[in-house]
């Protein structure tokens, strides 16, 4: 109990201390606001520009979630294809890897040209999806490969169909791997969305990245900090939700991945 | 299943060139308890997998009396679904065959009670001891009342006490159900204690080197383990193995 209270209290106390020091230091050394604005000044931004920032955050969040869902579905589907056909895996996995190791910023201009500048949101979605897709594919593939071969034999012995084997054996066996990959994908979808917005670098995307660029050009440093704050918050909440889902699904048998 | 299960000149060479089994012919009577005894790597597991239809023989065939009998399989590891309760694990064969959930659950609980696990229906595998997990595995293998029970060194990983307890439980279940039991082991004493007949395989590639009857009547109480009859059969087996080695 003590420990748990401390684990919660300590970061909060540290945060309060840091913010307090920050506020004090900015006044004490008269740091100009275009270098480092005070926490109070950053909060004020939410009063003046709150609506536009939240609107942008909403757009970035939408792209992130859409890319995330697409990545999870397509990553799992491809993993199942790989698991059921060695040929498909041999043929396709080099492309998946190539797509993964090519820096997304470098692909961005090409994708934007292809979908057209008017559809910049689509380019951002595609780029975020590319970034988030690979961890799902990799973890689902690893998970499906880790299915106990004896259990697989048992399902064959009892003449289980593909559906039964998939739902009752492959999905639950690979769940710990899959959820780890999905958690990574959630964070990467956000990273991908913001990087893609930067790369698109046009008012057409209107996400938080654009707000940051815009504010940077006008030396509105406080606004940049406010946008950063929103991004960090989104990332943390996303991670917390996915961790909670992982805990919900696994806590009864997680922590003991030994074969039973 | 009535009539014999016939293994007709079974041979298996794996695609990588490993000759696991050279030639095995044996008629196994319905309701018999037979052990397959041999050193590691002599193809015992392969024989069971061939019988189960999990591998195709390279030569020879497995002849079932009319249709393939219903099968149960017990592996050396309990091989349970870690995410499912004992009852869910034991119900697996029934659920895969499309039995209604409630019926499958009731029968699974009955099967668990048969192996001494009443009250553990909701336990997860990780909450059970090694011996208890193996009991769940036995309950699962027997829940659908198979005609043939294939066992691949099921107790090899257990301690001596648990092992001899499970040996007795297995014999009791066999006396009740009269399935055909095919039991793989590399323990001479376990083979003698359990079976009516012991097929001895040579080292790789496996071939039959002796076929020994064990006439001792059932039920075999634990006193049998120290009886002269037990010793006589064990000596016969050891001699067959020695002759082979010489
Ligand atoms: N799928 C397989 N592919 C190649 N070799 C195998 C395969 N399964 C078993 N073997 C080999 O066949 C031989 C017999 O194996 P097995 O039947 O498992 O022996 P046992 O159960 O008597 O220890 C071993 O040498 C083993 O390595
Ligand atoms: Mg074996």
The mean pLDDT value for A84-107 works out to 87
**CA–CA distance from A6 to each of A1, A18, A21, A123 (Å)?**
9, 18, 22, 45
Q: How far apart are CA A59 and CA A193, in angstroms?
A: 10
Q: Report CA dihedral (B62, B66, B72, B77) to the nearest 10 degrees.
A: 0
Position B2 scores a pLDDT of 58
CA of residue B144 to ligand 2 center, whole Å: 24
Q: How confident is the model at residue B69 (pLDDT cuts 50, 70, 90)?
A: confident
Task: Kindly tell me if the per-residue pLDDT of A258 is higher than 50.
Answer: no
Give A-chain residues touching B79 at CB under 8 angstroms. 148, 150-151, 154, 259-260
Residues B123-165 pLDDT 10s: 999 999 999 999 999 999 999 999 999 999 999 988 888 898 8
Position A109 scores a pLDDT of 86
DSSP code per residue over A79-123: HHHHHH-HHHHHHHHHHHHHHHHS-HHHHHHHHHHHH-GGGHHHH
The mean pLDDT value for A141-145 works out to 91
Provide ipTM, 2 decimals: 0.91
Length of chain A: 260
Position A107 scores a pLDDT of 87
CA of residue A192 to ligand 2 center, whole Å: 49
DSSP label at B67? S
Strands (E) in B141-196, as ranges, are 148-152, 180-185
Give A-chain residues touching B55 at CB under 8 angstroms. none
Residue of higher predicted confidence among B107 and A197: B107
The mean pLDDT value for A158-174 works out to 92
Judge if pTM exceeds 0.90.
Answer: no
DSSP label at B157? T
Task: Using alpha carbons, select from A177, A155, A183, A159 the residue that is nearest to residue A245.
Answer: A183
Residues B29-42 pLDDT 10s: 999 999 999 988 88
The mean pLDDT value for B63-78 works out to 87
List of residues 6+ apart from A184 with CB closer than 8 A:
A135, A139
Q: How confident is the model at residue B233 (pLDDT cuts 50, 70, 90)?
A: very high
DSSP, collapsed to helix, strand or coil, labels residue B148 as: strand
Position A256 scores a pLDDT of 46
Task: Kindly tell me if the per-residue pLDDT of B194 is higher than 60.
Answer: yes
Of B54, B78, B126, which is closest to A253 when you measure between CB atoms? B126
Task: Kindly tell me if the per-residue pLDDT of A260 is higher than 60.
Answer: no
Residue of minimum CA distance from atom 14 in ligand 1: B43
List chain A domain ranges. 61-250
A163 touches B at CB < 8 Å: no
Burial of A160 (0-12, 13-18, 19+ CB in 10 A): buried
Q: Is there a contact between B95 and B104 (Cβ–Cβ < 8 Å)?
A: yes
Q: How confident is the model at residue A202 (pLDDT cuts 50, 70, 90)?
A: low
Query: Half-sphere exposure (CA, 13 Å, Cβ side) for B85?
Result: 14
Residues B43-61 pLDDT 10s: 999 999 999 999 999 999 9
Q: Which CATH superfamily is domain A61-250 in?
A: MetI-like (1.10.3720.10)
Task: Kindly tell me if the per-residue pLDDT of A199 is higher than 90.
Answer: no
């Amino acid at each position: 109990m003590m420990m748990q209270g401390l684990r919660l209290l300590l970061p909060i106390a540290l945060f309060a201390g840091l913010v307090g020091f920050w506020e004090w230091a900015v006044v004490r050394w008269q740091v100009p606001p275009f270098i480092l604005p005070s926490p109070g000044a950053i909060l004020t931004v939410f009063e003046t520009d709150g609506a536009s920032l939240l609107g942008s955050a909403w757009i970035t969040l939408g792209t992130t979630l859409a890319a995330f869902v697409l990545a999870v579905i397509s990553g799992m589907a491809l993993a199942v294809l790989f698991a059921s056909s060695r040929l498909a895996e041999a043929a396709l996995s080099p492309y998946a890897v190539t797509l993964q190791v090519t820096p997304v910023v470098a692909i961005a201009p090409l994708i934007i040209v292809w979908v057209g500048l008017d559809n910049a949101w689509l380019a951002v979605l595609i780029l975020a999806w590319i970034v988030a897709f690979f961890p799902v594919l990799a973890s689902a593939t690893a998970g499906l490969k880790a299915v106990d071969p004896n259990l697989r034999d048992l399902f064959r012995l009892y003449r289980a169909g593909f559906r039964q084997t998939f739902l009752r054996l492959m999905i639950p066996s690979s769940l710990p791997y899959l959820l780890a990959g999905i958690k990574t994908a959630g964070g990467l979808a956000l990273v991908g969305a913001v990087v893609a917005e930067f790369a698109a670098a046009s008012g057409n995307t209107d996400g938080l990245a654009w707000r940051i660029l815009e504010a940077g050009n006008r030396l509105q440093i406080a606004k940049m900090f406010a946008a950063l704050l929103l991004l960090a918050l989104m990332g943390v909440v996303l991670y917390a939700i996915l961790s909670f889902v992982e805990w919900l699904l696994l806590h009864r048998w997680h922590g003991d991945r030994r074969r039973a | 299943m009535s009539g014999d299960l016939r293994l007709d000149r079974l041979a298996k060479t794996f695609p990588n060139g490993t000759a696991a089994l050279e030639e095995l012919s044996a008629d196994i009577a319905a309701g018999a308890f037979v052990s397959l005894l041999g050193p590691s790597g002599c193809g015992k597991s392969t024989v069971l997998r061939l019988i189960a239809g999990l591998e195709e023989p390279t030569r020879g065939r497995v002849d079932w009396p009319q249709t393939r009998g219903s099968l149960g399989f017990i592996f050396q590891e309990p091989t349970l679904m870690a995410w499912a309760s004992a009852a869910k694990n034991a119900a697996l064969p029934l659920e895969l065959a499309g039995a209604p959930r409630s019926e499958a659950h009731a029968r699974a609980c009955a099967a668990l009670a048969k192996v001494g696990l009443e009250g553990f229906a909701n336990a997860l595998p990780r909450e059970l001891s090694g011996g208890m997990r193996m009991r769940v595995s036995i309950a699962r293998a027997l829940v659908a009342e198979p005609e043939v029970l294939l066992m691949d060194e099921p107790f090899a990983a257990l301690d001596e006490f648990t092992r001899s307890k499970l040996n007795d439980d297995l014999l009791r279940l066999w006396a009740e159900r009269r399935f055909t039991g095919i039991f793989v082991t590399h323990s001479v004493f376990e083979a003698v204690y359990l079976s009516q007949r012991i097929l001895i395989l040579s080292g790789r590639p496996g071939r039959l080197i002796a076929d020994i009857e064990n006439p001792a009547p059932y039920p075999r109480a634990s006193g049998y383990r120290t009886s002269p009859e037990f010793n006589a059969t064990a000596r016969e087996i050891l001699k067959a193995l020695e002759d082979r080695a010489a």
